[in-house]
Structures are given as C-alpha cells and as structure tokens.
Structure 1
Amino acid sequence: MTELSPTQKTVQRRSKPGAWRISDIIDSRNLRVQLTAAHMDHANDRTKARQRVIDLLHGALFRGRMIAQERLEAGADGLDTANLLSAVMDEVLHALYDYTTVHVIRANNPTMGERMAVMAVGGYGRCALAPSSDVDLLFVRTYKQTAWAESVIEFMLYALWDLGLKVGHAFRTIDECIRLSKEDYTIRTAILDKRLLFGDKDVAKELDDRFDKDIVEGRAAEFVQAKLEERDRRVSREGSSRFRVEPNVKESKGGLRDLQTLFWLAKYIHGGSNFNGVLKNHVFSKSDAAIFRREARFLWTVRCHLHYVAGRAEDRLSFDLQPEIASRMGFVDKAGMSGVERFMKRYFLAAKEVGALTRILCAKLEAIEQKKPSGLLRFMPAPVPKLLDDKRFVLDAGRVSYASADAVKDDPLNLFRLFKVADKGGYDIHPNAIANARENLKELKVSYRKDPEAQELFIDVVTSKHHPGTTLKIMNETGVLGHFLPEFGRIVGQTQFNMYHHYTVDEHTIRAVEAMNDIERHVLVSEHPLATEIFPKVQHRRALYLAMLLHDTGKGQGDQQIEGAKTARGACLRLGMEPEEAELVAWLVGNHLEMSDTAQRRDISDPRTVSTFAKKVGTVERLRLLLILTVCDIRAVGPGVWNSWKGQLLRELYYATEAALRGGRADEVSVQAQIAKRATLGREALFEKIGKLPASFENLEDAYWISFETDVQAWHAETITASGGETTSAARIEKELSATQVLVFADDRARLYADLCKVLTSAGADILSARLFSTGNDKVLDVFEIQTSSGEPFCEGDPERLKFLTTALQAVAAGEKPEHELADDNFKASRRQAAFIVEPVVSIDKKASDNAIVLELSGRNRQGLMQEIANVFVNQGLSIQSAHAESYGMLVHDVFYVEAQGEDVLDEALLTKELLEVLRRGDLEAPRTPARALKRAKTSENR
C-alpha cells in the first residue's frame, strides 16, 4: 500500500471524496454578478467586455485548479481530485453559457430550432477530469443548425480556447448522434458517458431515450465484442504486458483504460447513471467493487500527479518522472528498497489487481452475452457444462471450471488441480474459476506448503512440457503462485530502477520460463541452436525449471546470487526435493550470472579465463544447464536485449569449456594445449580455403585463430593482401552477429587504438569488442565489432557512410587527418537517462590473466568514452590487448586486457583516479532531472 508520512495520512483522512463543496471553491452567484457587471461596465466596447469575462473565468478556473492541486499534494486521492476538477469545469462552463445566452447572443423567444442541450462526454462525462485532459463537449440540437446556436457555440469555443483549454467538441442533431453511434464505437462509447451540463433538458432526455432504445437495447453482445477487440489492439500497441517498467498509466495493460472498459461494459449491459451506480450492479461482487474503487483511486492519484509534475497531459510514467511521483506520494527508502522502487512495486501490484479483475469480469460479461439465445433458441434449455474425466471439473464453453462453487473450500488442493487440468488439456480457465481461486485463496493454509500432494501438483505445473508460462501467469494473477511459494511472492511487482530491465522481476521470470519451454519444444531453433541441441541431453530437467523460476528471488536482499542461492535451497527443500537436487538448483541460482559475465566481459581466448570458468562449473551437465539458463535469462530481459553477438560469445565459451571438461583436465596448461590445437586447425583451414597466407599472418598468436571463423579470416587475409601489406581499413556487415566488423591493418604506435576509437565513437558507433593482434615487423591487426546504440549493425543499409568510416580510419591509422568528418551529434543523455546517477567503478585484477592486467570499468555511457579511456592508458604507459564492452541502457561496463610497456611499474592509485575522473565526467555532462529523489545505481544491481 501507499506509504505516507503521518502528516499526509492525517490530511488524507480529512480529504476524503465528498469532503469538499463546490460552493466553497467557486461562488457561482458572485461569479455571475461579476460577469454581468463586466458586460454593463463595457457595454460600448465588446472587446473589453469579453477580455474582462475571460479574466474572471480564468481566475475562477485557476483558483479551482490550485485548490485541487493543493489537496492532492496534501494527500487527497486522484479520483477525488478528478471529481473536483470536473465540478470546477462545470461551474466555469455554466457561467460562460449563461453569460453568452443572456448578454451576448440572447434568444428572447427561442424557436424549436434554437433548443439546445450542452452535454459532457468521455471522461468529463463521467465527472473525472485529469489536470491537463481535454474537455469533451457535445452540443445537441433537435433540428438543422440555426444562426443563434452557431453563434453561441462559436463564442463559447473561442472563449474556452482563450482560457487555454483543449476542447473536443461536436455539434449534432439527435438523429446524427444515433446514426454515428451505430457506425462508430468510439462515438458510441463517448455518448454512453454523456451528462447534461446545461441547456434544454427535454432535448437531453430525448437523446437519452433514443440512445437507450436504438443503440443500447439488444446490442450488448456487439458492443462487448467491439470493446474487447479495441482493448486487444491497445494492449498490443503498449507491449502486451502490464509489467513494462515505464508504463502508460492510462493506456497500458492494467491501467485506467482497462477499468474504464469494465465500467463501459457493465454500464451498457446492466445500467447505472454514475460511478457508484455502475459498481452496484450485479456484475461486480462486493470484493470486485472494492478492488475497482481502491485501484481506481490509486491510478488516478498517479495520473494527476503526473499531469501536475509534467505540466501537460503526460500519462507515461517514465524514469525521469518516477522519483518525483514517488516522493510526492510519500514513498521513502525502506528495507533495502528505494522509495521509487517501492512506489513502482505498488503500481504494478495495482496493475496486477486490475488485470485479474479485467480478465475475470470481461470474460464473464462476454460469456453472458454469448450465451443469450436468439430467435427460437431462446425457448431451448441452456447448454449444460460438460464433466471432464476428473469429475471435480467441467468444460464450460471451452473453458475449464470447477464443477462445484465450493470445490476449493472442500479441498484447497483443487486450486492446483485446476491449473494442472487446464495445462494438460490445453484449456483456457473460466473466469468463474479464476474468481473462485482469488476469493478462496485463504483456504490454502501455510501448512499446505509441506503437503506432499500439493508439492507434487505444484512442481508438475511448473515443469510441464506444455505451456507452463501461460499457467504460471494465471497462477500469479490469482495470487496462488506467490502464496504457495513465498520466495516468488516477494518479487511480485518488484522493479529495478534502471533502463536495462523492461519488466518487473516476476514478469521477467515467467517470460524466462516461457523461453525455456519454447527452446525445449524446438520453437527457437534458429535463434538458439546450441541450447536447443543440448536440451534433450539434460539429465536434471526439473532442477533447471525450478532454478529458472527461482533465479531472481534474491533481488533486493543484497548480493542477488548469494541470497538467491539461499532462498532457492530453502524453497526446494520445502517442496520435498532431495538435498542433492536442491543443491543443484541453489548452485544454478547462485551462479546464474557467471556465464554471461565471463562470455561478455572476459577474453575467452585467454587460457586462464576458460580454466577458471571450467573449474567453477565442474561438470558438462552443469555447463549445459547454465548455458540454457543464461540464454533464457538474457532473452527475457526485454525486446532487443538478446542478439546474435551474445549468442556467439556464449557458444564460444561453451565449446571451449566443454572441451576442457571432457578432456578431464581444466588446468591452464591443458587448456592452452587445446587452444594451440584449435589454432593449428584454424591455420590449416584458412590455408586450404585461400591457398596462401599473407606473410603478416605467419606470426599471429593462437588467440587470433580461435577468435574468428575461417570465412572471416579469409576476408581479413584478402583485404591485407590487396593492400600490398600497406596500411588499410575495411568493414562488412555481420548480420548473424548483429554487428559490423571493422579491421585496421597498420604500423603500430602508441596512440593508434585511442585515435581509432575517436573516429568510431565520433561517428556514433558503440564498440562491442576490440581485439588487437601483433603480426610482426611492427605491424598490428585491430578488429572491432561495432553497433548502433539500438543494437543494430552500424551503417547497415548505408554503404556510402560505411565507406567514409573506413577511409577515415585508414587515414588516422596512417597518421593523417580524415578527409570526411563523421561526427554524430545525436548521442546525448536524455532526461530519462539523467534520472539515474551512476556510481562509477574501477577495479584492477592482476590474477585474472597470465599475460595481462584486467581492468573493469563501469559508468554512464556517452559518446567518446572509449577514446578518453584509451588516452588514459597511453598516458600511463599501458598497451591494450583486447577490449570488451557491455551496455545496460545508460550504463556501460568495459573490460580491458592491458600490459605495461617496458619496465614501468603500474601506479594503480593514479590509474584508478584518472579513470574515475573520466567516468564521472558523464554524470557531470548529463542534463539534470527535476526529480527530488534519485537512485544511485550501481552496475552490480542493474543486471
């Protein structure tokens, strides 16, 4: 629930909806007297009279809005604020209408054609107006347009625009309203929310009667279908998940629009004139109505704060706004979580509740309408649900449900049996069954966590070969998953305040399980060939699935791998697993980041890297399990996070480690021997392919021959041969790796790498990796893999720009000035990125490699960073062997293998100081966010 300060809690209790009176905010009588006085004072100057009227109305509107904002900031909820803003708008509009029709365009004896009703529609019609929302008005007339009505509308609209309001308006006859409602469901929905503001009551009543008779009666089924299809399209546009970490409070799944859809459907089918009236109809149970009210108030509170903070109609809860909204709503740092993370967890718990309510009630309303017989069928008995083989369950309209409403009360294990039956039969679950599960969750006592049958049922569902992810989502919605497995319950709705993760921790976890199941069923062969190939060889399938389900349960409790291993071990033992299997799950969870870290942050051509990793893994079986777990974990982070480059690195590490483990020896000498053997095979394969190797290839170290495929090596050799052994540069798109590979062959010199980085980063390229090889005779072969900031091959589809890039690199390598400048000014920190203050980290490891010093740096990503780091290395007398870059949204994590030149002794303190200064420069240059509460993000917490 929302955490408020004691003062805010006191104010909130005093500021309950209905605690205000509009007469205390706007004195309607006095306002009209002032408007009349303005007209009389400037009777001979309509321009001055109009300006005075605008000033008076603006003052009343401003006062009302300020009071609404003050109440909100003092703790009043957002729905109360929206109601107050709507009431203020009612008073201002009514005063303007009276002034217009009495003093400006008066109709002394109105004809039938001059009868008009002014109605609020849309959200304003529901008496819910957000601070910066449009004011939607419908001017209704009985006959064709008259000069009087046209003049009244024109005067009012221009006045409203002068007040700075965004006004949506339509001027229609009753017949036009009915006709357009039949043709357009958006118009039908808007008119469904109609509310008379002022004007002719008879005209408004006639529209009400015609709308009910011609539009509502007998058309509920088509309206339900249309609104559900509309919802599906909206959800698809917003990403099909209610757990995206920058949600749209209004449009995202689980947001206000879902609640509005429920409201419309219930009102259309069962009636109700206002918010409370609709919630009292029999579609909503008492608990459903309570959930609806509670979450509507919370989401409206978030939305109103958003509008005030942004100063516009902003409904996207972006990273730069989240800390400020959290602060305004009273969320503070507590129990290892920042205030903003606690606020977002509350938001996602609300979205979860709205999602469950929507799923249940929409499906219920749809089923009710579909079951209503038409024609002669209405005299036939309704179809009876079909009993399944397990007599405790029935198939109702293709959905599995309980045969008895008391099924869960009679036997709480029927909660799990429901999910197992649905999963095994491939059935959807009936909304009545979901509602039953939610309402009777308390029947599943804590003691059932140790019940052998409950444990078996639960594990069967989690490790199903059908579609466990689908079932787990429903289990999560109903609360069964978190209730039975409290370790998972702690991460429900949990977020990490960074730009890397796209979903909440629970949503990410379930998506990872889905990905694992897809790999097992050979659905993702083209994207994950190795994981698909080795899955049938896995001997501990159950442990793998449970490790995936539990892999992030340590987040928010310290070191996520250490804490996760503890929680996973405890959960597995409680689930009745044997200690050996529980230890395997704990090991996988405790090491689930190791393979990705090693592959992406270490030089996997270095024998010590492979040896160290192989010793940690221990067996080929663990290696297989870890590879699959790693692939699914990365894939489930969000769209675009997985790419072929990461896949290639993981495959290289897997094959090198597997060879070491199969050989029975994982020591460095044995690994070096294997690398030498692979290098010999690589040389032979290239010789066979091209016939003759360039002289510069004779002295290339083993690392080169195991780092690239033969086709790539052939391209390198042909490029160097064509240059006659002179300085050259070339590039080509590697679509399979989602990267562009660039090679530079040149004379070695001190600042060569830094100068090349300057050209690449100035052009806007992200350097994924750089591998530097000596070819003898003071020549070097540098190979870069580069991407765009969005993870695409750099310059893909732009061969001319790629040519300019290689020309510039060749010129710089030769010590000349490039003919073409490729500066990219688009790489700037956004306000979203500026919401994060990144704590830079530098570590120096002299034991990770025999031949190099390993430097790890993390900080804010920005243009030119790699070049500045390279300059520091040059100044410190360090030469670079290889570089490996990894980005997490606004964060970058770079690893360099360097060696000291000559007999210089490395000054670690000075090197660290200079590197930290470079990394901190990114935060100093970033635009500041207006947020009052900022999270200091550390790289270790953002993975």
Structure 2
Amino acid sequence: MNTRFDNVPNRRAIVDRRALAEEIAAIATDDPALLRRDAIGKLKDALDAGRAEIARRLADRPSRGLEAANAQAFLIDQLLRLLYDLATQRLYPLSNPTASERLTLMAVGGYGRGEMAPFSDVDIAFLTPWKQPPWAEQVIETLLYSLWDMGLKVGHSSRSLDDMVRQAKGDVTIRTALLEGRHVCGDVPLYEEAIGRFKAEVTHGTERQFIADKLAEREARHVKMGDTRYVVEPNVKEGKGGLRDLHALFWIGKYVYDVDRAAQLVDVGLFTPAEYKLFHRADNFLWAVRCHLHLAAGRAEDRLTFDMQREIAERMRYSDRPGKAAVERFMQYYFLQVKTVGALTGTFLTHIDEQFAARGRRFGLPQLRRRPRKLNGFVLERGRLALPSDDFFVEDPVRLIEIFHLADLHELEIHPQALRAATRDAKLVDDVRTDPRANALFLDVLTSPRDPELVLRWMNETGVFGRFVPDFGRVVAQMQFDMYHHYTVDEHTIRAIGLLARIERGDLAAEHPLATAIMPQIVSRRVLYVAVLLHDIAKGRGGDHSILGAAVAQKLCPRFGLTRAETETVSWLVRYHLLMSATAFKRDLSDFKTILDFTATIQSPERLRLLLVLTIVDIRAVGPGTWNGWKRQLLGDLFEAAEEVLRLGHKQRGREERIAAKQEALAEAMGWNEAQMSAYVRRFPEAYWIAEPDDVLAHNARFVASVGDAQLAIDAQVYAERGATLVTVYAADHPGIFYRIAGAIHVAGGNIIDARIHTTRDGMALDNFLVQDPVGRPFDDEGQLTRLRTAIEDALANRGKLVERLKAKPLPRMRADAFRIEPNVLVDNRASNRFTVVEINARDRPALLNQLAHALFQSKVTIHSAHVATYGERAVDTFYLTDLTGDKIASGPRLKTLERRLLDAAAGKPLDEAA
C-alpha cells in the first residue's frame, strides 16, 4: 500500500475516487465525445471542490505547508487514475493486448515527490516498452486533452524505455525529474523495469558528475536570483535558501543513497536527527508560504513581493508587536528559515564532498589557500580547520571565537564537523562575552585586512556571532519593510564590512577613487570597522535607530577593547551615520550655510573622512543599483567643501577656488578666449557653478552657445553616469515654468529623479532634469524624446490645459502602493541665510514633483533649486524658496497655507486650478 499521503487526514473529504468512479460508470452513453465531456465535467467539479477543501484546511491550520502540498498531489493522483481508467476501459479498451500495448503513467519532479502548490504544473511521464503503438497514442492524447480541458497546466513527456535511458543520460534536467518518478497508474511491471534500468544504466557510476552538475546549476540559479538568501522580495521556490535548495539536498541524497524520503537522510549519516528536524521545519514553513502565495495570487506565484508579504503574514496569523509590525515578524521568521537551509546545505554538501572527492579536488565549495601551521590545539584535516575532540569547545568556550580568528589569519576553510559543533555549542559563548581574549580575537576578525566578510558570514551562519554580540543577534534575519533596502539588516551589515575591506585593499579604486585615496589617511581604522558593524544595530526597536544605536555603541565598544576616545567616535558615527547622505542628497550644496551647518556637527577632518567612507559602504550595501556616479559626485562635492571649511577655519576661500577651477576648466573645454568666458560667467550666479559638475557645465555652455537668442530650446542626451537622460530646458523665465516642465515630462511618460533650477542674470531659465522611464532606465528612445520636447513646448506655450492632460493620464499601479507613508512637510528658515527650505516626504509616484511644484506656484513663491531623492517607495523632495521679492517666507499664516497646499499635493489630492 502506498504510504506517500499518510500525513493527509480524511483524504476522502478531498476527493472520493470510488464515488466518482461510480458516477462516471453511470454515464449512460455510447458516444465517446459525450462520455468524455460528461466525465470531464464531473472531474472538473471534483478538482474545484478538492482545491477548495485543501484551501479551507490551510486557512484553518495555516502553518501545515507539507500537508497542503501532499494533499494537492493526492488530489491530482486520484483524478489521473480515474481519467486513465476512463480512457483504457471505456474509450479505448483492449480485449487482447500485445506485449507492446502497455503503458505506464509516472508522476515526475515535485509532483513525483508528492508535493504540489495549488497552481503548480502537473508533471507526468508516459512510458511504453518500445515504439509507441497507436493505442497508447490515443490514450495519451485523451489524457492530455482532458487535463487541459480541466484547466490544469501540464508538463509531459512520452518515451520508450530506450528513449528514457538515452535522454536521461544526456540531460541532467530530465534525469532529475525521473529521479523522483513515482507510479500513478498503468502497467506496474513496466514501471518497475523503467526504474531498474534508470538505476542500472543512468545513475550508477555517475554520482560524482550529478553532484557537480547540481552544484553548478545551484550557483547559476543563485546568481540569477540575486546571490543572497536575504533579498527582501525573495523567490520562495528558486531563491537562495528556498525550496529548490532543499530539493537539491534530497536529490543528491536520493541519487547517491537511493533514499525515498528526506527522513532517510538521517539513516545514511547526511543529517543528524536534530538537523533533519530543522530541515523538516524549514520545508514545512516554505511550503506553507508557497501554498498561501498561490492562493492569494489565484495563480502560480513564487515571488514574495511587498504587497504579498502583508497578505501572507495575515493569512499565517502573525500579529503586530511593540516596535515590530506583523509583516516584519513574518519575514524575520522567513529569513531565519532560509538561513537554516543555508547552514544545512553547507554541512550536507561538504559531507558528500568528503566521500566523493578526488585528491585535492572537491565540488566547487569555497576554497582558500591552506598553510598547515601549529594552530593552538586545533588540527588540520585535509587542509581544513578541525577539532581534536567533540568537547573541544566545551573545555574552553573562547575557542568558539578563536576558530574563526584562525580561519581568517591562516586563510583556512573550517571543517563541516567543526561548524556543526560550533552551531551546537554556540550558546557556550554566552559565558565568555566579557572575556578580554575573546573580544580581542573578535575585533581582529572584524578588522581583518584579508576577508572579514567571509569569516563573519560563517560566524553568523553558526549562530556564534549573534550569541557573542546579542544586539547583533536581534537584527539577524530582520527585514526592513520598504523598497529601498534589498537585504536583511545582518546581511546588509556584513556586506558593508566586506565593501570596507575591499576599499581599503584598493580593489574598488575605479568606483570609489576618493574613499580609496583617503583610507590611508584615516588614523582610527578600527573605529571605522566597529562603526560599520554597529550603524544599524538598533533597527527594529521602535525608535530612532541612530540615537538608540549610539547608546549600544557606548556599551559595546569598551567590551571590544576600544579606548574611551574610540568609543566616543564610534558612538558619534553611529548617531550621525545618515547625516552626510541626507545633506548631500536633500540640500543645496551651493548654499554655503548648508556646508557650515554640516561642518558644525562634523567638527574634525578625521570624523569627516570616517563619515564619508561609512556613508559610501552603507549606501553600496543597501543593494544593487543604489550607488551611482551622481551620488558619488554629490558626496565628493560635500566632502571637498566641508574639508575646505574645516581646514581653513570656516573661511569661504575654498569655495572661490573651486568656482575658479570649474570656470577655467570650462574655458579650456570650450576653447573660449577671456572676453567670451567673462561674458558667459557674468550671466550666471555663483550658486550655478557650485551646483553643477564639470561635464554638465560644459554641456550647458555648448547648448546655450548653439541656440543663440532663442527664447525656448530643449535638449536631451543620455547621462550614462547616472543611468538617466539629462534634459536641459533653456527658456525665458516666468512664474510656473518649473511645474509646467515637470508636468510635461510626466505627460510624455518620463520620471524626474533630479532637478536643478537656475536663472541667469538676464532673465533666462536654465533647468537641468534627470529623467528615467517608469522602470528606471534612461529615457532615450527617439519617439520618447520627440514626445518629450513637444510636451514641454506645448506646456510652456500654454497650448492645451496641462492639468486636464495630467488627470487624463492614468497613474500606473506602483509597487510602492504596498506601503503606507504619511505625507510630511518640514519648513526650515534656519537651514539657509537666503532661502526658506521646504522638505516634503511622501510615497513616490508619477507626477509627484509636478503636483508639488504646482502647489508652490499657487502659493506665489519662487523656486531657486529643487533636490529630488528617492529611497525605494519614499520620495524626499526639497525646495529652496523665496517670495516674489526675493526674501524668505517669514509670515506665519503664509507658511501655514504653503504647508497645507504641499500636504494636499503630497497626498495626491487632485489639482483644481487650470494651468
């Protein structure tokens, strides 16, 4: 008797095959078409009822993922058997079958394993002894058309035994699918012959190659999915640490040891009972998430997107806790499970590796140079750091830190048995947290000039890191529910430390020339590494993580062995780790008060250097695409301006020197004589030269020179450094010009990611916009650019009602819609000596900038510069304003009205005044 579905209770409530068979037998017609139609109708009803019953059970017991997955496979089994009986007994019966008129139907792949999500493909294989006879062709065709008519997605193959063997030998995907082959219905001796030949002719003697192929396939899949298990919108099936990784372990175990169930991996020594328990828990949880995902989406969906995360958290009955939303608690548990899968995978594969390794050659697991040394009681086993006895950590728990220190110092791998023992004994490290030797060893690992990221990752996988630094343990697997951060907090932190080490080694000099150049000047090297470790340590505590983190640093740094002065600097860096990016991306760097306010907080060149490098690695470690040349330019400009102030004692000489240098470079690039250059320089205010980088200054100069006395000219070119298109508008200045241009760009399908507004002394506006298409690519198609120019010309000439065109353009549904962001307007009259600075925080959406600029136009203020920054779903737009006479907006009622209009615009309330 098949025990595959023993864990599914009350199976008859899902589908009653006997009752269905009787209903089909009772269909009284000799017409094959009518018989098939009526039978399919009954089977489709049974499929819908079975799915509904499984969904109801999952809703009642939302964490029973494997039970739901097994129940889906059970349901499909019963329907296939009924279909097969219908086809072979009533539609195409054989009174005297020949030896070739035999057919067996196998479930393969995940369905063969007995696990299916609600909308998974039905993967089946038909086998015949030799060439397919006409009878088998009729049966197969009937089954397939019937399954399609029932609305099922089918993956199928039809092969003879010889074809099966030949194709399985040549294609590892076919071999993997057949590896899990299971008899569903049809000729049993034929199925047994197929399995016997598969084992004897395909798998026997090819174990090494299969393992190598599976590891290579796994690596390729991980790279495609982001190469980390901590992406914040993970793929439950294909992502790193997901179901496919668990399946790969089972496939390898089955291929090598011919096990039928994952539990048997314990019997063959690949898992301990405790490790199998972890395997089963992760498997069950991931299947629950996947089944809920399919049901919530109403289709096959394996990506846990932001909008789905809330839904699945609710379905799985997670609730809010102080300081942590239900969705964050759910995702933290998700990441803890995929972390477990990662640890199990490493141990499992290295065990297999040990058994199948040729001399000095193993299956692509991380390899480092090995230098046998005398290693403080640890032993080297085949070049890997191992334990002399199972109780080695118990004898001296400091060794739980020392093993990672030695691995880093001598660039050694750690034996999987030693990692397994470290995982088991991690709690012993609680007793040596305050031990000076343990802390000194940990600090050495953290600040290693070699590869601290790799060793800290090992330490995190075993749980030793989170036990030794409990504050770090609190952020392990903790996600941040937003679109800006791509990784969990612990993954982001470890990546940032790795980036810091690479910058220090000079590996990233081309991408980070300034940071690479100043690293040798940094005196407080270990302060910087500790600050990177602690900068996000207080996330998820329900308050400002910068302030809370600074307090954590005050407590932890002395334990690590840092001096009082070092502790103060680390605490300061954690407290202000967002200051430099906020100033560079949200403030006008051409306003000198911005620089003075920034340096008043920084106070020393050493802190400035430390903060720059910390800011760079923090941004880079957020995720792919968050770092770009534009951010490098802004941070570099702020660093140079601040350094000049700090070095010259708050004099503005450095600013004048930078402007002079830019003007000299422009004159050289344009080939202008002194008179031409002087005439051009007189037209632009000082702020223009500070605000724009050299390449944009040169582009603007060429453009202005080429258009002569024209009252309107528009240029667009791809700005590769920023991954966007630079749109330059040169036009006679007038009130409302900015909001009209912003609206026109949106009407043309563009998305503004940065805007710089300049007015010449002779009344012309020179505005530079960085524009992307809705999916973040340069806006560079010739048709797009033509529409863009036309839209801007129409808007500035007041041809057609811009507001009506904006209303008519539907807003696409954005991923940001999954997030609730309360609009906020901050008005600051102290941030600048000349301007009122207004910062608006809102959920990012198309036309947001236009609506904000329109609100400013309605408020009768002049916009002098705009700074657009996006952090995932959050937009932060900052404007430098004056009233129409050029003064700050000082009146209380007027500021209140301005704030209300901006709040309405930020909230997306429709524009009510014609343009």
| TM-score, length basis structure 1 | 0.89
Output the CA distance in 2 between the equivalents of 1:247 and 1:581.
Answer: 38
Alpha-carbon offset, residue 685 of structure 1? 5.5
1:308 aligns to what? Answer: 295
What is aligned with 1:442?
427
- 1:349 partnered with 2:336: yes
1:613 corresponds, among 598, 601, 609, to 598
Deviation at 1:856, TM superposition (A): 0.5
Alignment partner of 1:194 out of 171, 181, 185: 181
> Any conservation in 2 of the 1:112–1:143 contact (CA below 8 Å)?
no
Q: Is residue 150 of structure 2 the alignment partner of residue 150 of structure 1?
A: no
SS at match of 1:859: strand
Q: Secondary structure at the match of 1:746?
A: strand
Classify 1:827/1:485 alpha carbon distance in 2 versus 1 (closer, same or farther; 3 Å). farther
Q: Relative to 1, partners in 2 of residues 1:215 and 1:317: Cα closer, same or farther, differing over 3 Å?
A: same
Kindly provide the CA deviation profile for residues 769-826 of structure 1, in whole angstroms up to 9, marking residues without a partner as x: 433334334334333344445555542xx4675476457656755777899x999999
Find the counterpart in structure 2 of residue 752 from structure 1: 737
Rounded to whole Å, the distance in 2 between the matches of 1:402 and 1:436 is: 9
Aligned twin of 2:221? 234
User: Which residue of structure 1 lines up, in the alignment, with residue 527 of structure 2?
Assistant: 543
Aligned match of 2:314: 327
In structure 2, C-alpha distance between the alignment counterparts of 1:17 and 1:583, rounded to whole Å: 62
User: Quick one: structure 1 residues 609 and 295, their matched pair in 2 at CA, closer, same or farther if it must change by over 3 Å?
Assistant: same
Deviation at residue 705 of structure 1 after TM alignment? 2.6
Partner of 1:577: 562
**Residue among 856, 865, 868 paired with 2:851:** 868
Q: 1:472 deviation in Å?
A: 1.2
Q: Which residue of structure 2 aligns with residue 504 of structure 1?
A: 488
| C-alpha distance in structure 1 between counterparts of 2:772 and 2:904, whole Å | 26
- 2:51 maps to a residue whose letter is R
Q: Say yes or no: does 1:629 pair with 2:632.
A: no
In the TM superposition, what are the counterparts of 1:667-816 in structure 2 within 5 Å? Answer: 670-671=651-652, 674-680=654-660, 682-683=662-663, 686=666, 690-691=672-673, 692-693=676-677, 695=679, 697-698=681-682, 700-709=684-693, 712-729=696-713, 730-789=715-774, 791-795=776-780, 798=781, 802=785, 805=788, 809=792
* Alpha-carbon offset, residue 496 of structure 1: 1.4
- Match of 1:838, SS state, is coil
Among 71, 75, 78, the residue aligned to 2:61? 75
Sort the Cα spacing of 1:747 and 1:414 in 2 relative to 1 into closer, same or farther, 3 A.
same
- The aligned counterpart of 1:568 is 553
- Counterpart for residue 140 of structure 1: 127
Amino acid of the structure 2 residue aligned with 1:746: A
**Pairs within 5 Å for 1:868-907:** 868-902=851-885, 905=891, 907=894
Cα deviations across residues 58-78 of structure 1 (Å, max 9, x unaligned)?
232222222211111101511
Q: Deviations along 1:21-48, whole A, 9 cap, x unmatched? A: 323443332222211111xx123x3322
Letter in 2 for 1:609: T
Conserved? CA contact 1:764–1:824, under 8 Å: no
Moved more, 177-186 or 482-491: 177-186
Which deviates the most, 241-250 or 400-409? 400-409
Range with greater deviation from structure 2 (907-916 or 593-602): 907-916
1:219 aligns with one of 193, 206, 211: 206
CA 1:813–1:36: 2 relative to 1, 3 Å? closer
* CA–CA separation in structure 2 for the residues paired with 1:817 and 1:654: 46
**What does the per-residue CA deviation read over 1:93-116, in whole Å, with 9 as the maximum and x for residues that have no partner?**
112222222222112222211222
Secondary structure (helix, strand or coil) at the match of 1:784 reads strand
Out of 483-492 and 568-577, give the one that drifted further.
Answer: 568-577
The superposition leaves residues 703-730 of structure 1 with CA deviations (integer Å, 9 ceiling, x where unpaired) of 1232335564344344334433442434
Structure 1 residue runs without a partner (length 5+): 1-15, 375-384, 925-943
2:372–2:383 CA contact under 8 A, matched in 1: no
CA distance in 2, matches of 1:84, 1:501: 37
RMSD of aligned residue pairs (Cα, Å):
2.8
The Cα of 1:485 is off from its aligned counterpart by 0.7
- Could you say which residue in structure 1 is the equivalent of 2:828? 845
Corresponding position of 2:366 = none
How many angstroms apart in 2 are the aligned matches of 1:622 and 1:373? 48
Q: Is this contact kept in 2: 1:769–1:884, CA < 8 A?
A: yes
Q: Give the match for residue 817 of structure 2.
A: 834
Decide which of 30, 40, 44 is 1:58's aligned counterpart: 44
8 Å CA contact 1:131–1:307 kept in 2: the answer is yes
Residues 239/677 of structure 1: CA separation in 2 closer, same or farther (3 Å cut): closer
Counterpart of 2:864 in structure 1: which amino acid? Q
Number of the residue aligned with 1:523:
507
Partner of 2:437: 453
Corresponding residue of 1:161: 148
Q: Is the 8 A contact 2:851 2:906 kept in 1?
A: no
Q: Which residue does the alignment assign to 1:492?
A: 476
CA change 1:530–1:799 in 2 (3 A) is farther
Alignment partner, residue 929 of structure 1: none
Q: 1:524 to 1:88 in 2, by over 3 A?
A: same
CA 53–895 in structure 1, closer or farther in 2 if over 3 Å, else same: same
**Is the 8 Å Cα contact of residues 134 and 165 (structure 1) preserved in structure 2?**
yes
Deviates more, 1:101-110 or 1:801-810: 801-810
| SS of match in other structure, 1:850 | coil
The answer (yes or no) to whether the contact 1:185–1:223 under 8 Å persists in 2 is yes
- Structure 2 gaps of 5+ residues are 362-369
What does residue 245 of structure 1 align with? 232
Does the Cα contact within 8 Å between 2:589 and 2:690 map onto a contact in 1?
A: no
Runs of 4+ in 1 over 6 A off after TM superposition: 814-819, 821-827
* Cα distance, 1:564–1:144 mapped onto 2, change above 3 Å: same
Distance 1:166 1:790, change over 3 A: closer
Post-superposition offset of 1:363: 1.9
Alpha-carbon distance, 1:491 to partner: 0.7
Give 1:481's aligned amino acid. F
Within 2, Cα distance between the matches of 1:274 and 1:870?
Answer: 63
What is the Cα deviation at residue 458 of structure 1? 0.5
116-125 vs 681-690, which deviates more?
681-690
Q: Residue 105 of structure 2 contacts residue 125 of structure 2 at CA under 8 Å; is this kept in 1?
A: yes
Q: Tell me the alpha carbon deviations over residues 659-685 of structure 1, each in whole angstroms, 9 at most, x when there is no partner.
A: 1111123xxxx34x5434544555565
Equivalent residue in structure 2 for 1:27, among 16, 23, 39: 16
Matched, 1:407 2:392: yes
The TM-score, its normalising length taken from structure 2, stands at 0.92
- Report the equivalent of 2:35: 49
Secondary structure at 2:306 match in 1 = coil
Of 254, 258, 265 in structure 1, the residue corresponding to residue 252 of structure 2 is 265
Pairing 1:393–2:375 present: no
> 2:660 & 2:130 partners in 1: Cα distance?
92
Task: Say which of 442, 452, 457 aligns to 1:468.
Answer: 452
Partner of residue 9, structure 1: none
1:928 aligns to what?
none
Match of 2:364 in 1: none
3-state SS of paired residue (2:88): helix
Q: Give 3-state SS (helix, strand or coil) of 2:433's partner.
A: helix
2: CA distance, partners of 1:538 / 1:804: 51
Q: Distance in 2 between matches of 1:119 and 1:721?
A: 75
Q: C-alpha separation between the residues in 2 aligned to 1:489 and 1:53?
A: 58
Q: 1:113 and 1:527, CA in 2 relative to 1: closer, same or farther beyond 3 A?
A: same
C-alpha separation between the residues in 2 aligned to 1:116 and 1:590?
Answer: 71
CA distance in 2, matches of 1:817, 1:63: 56
Residues 867, 21 of structure 1: alpha-carbon distance in 2 compared, 3 angstrom cutoff? closer
What CA distance in whole angstroms lies between the structure 2 residues aligned with 1:698 and 1:816? Answer: 34
Q: State the shift of 1:187 in Å.
A: 1.1
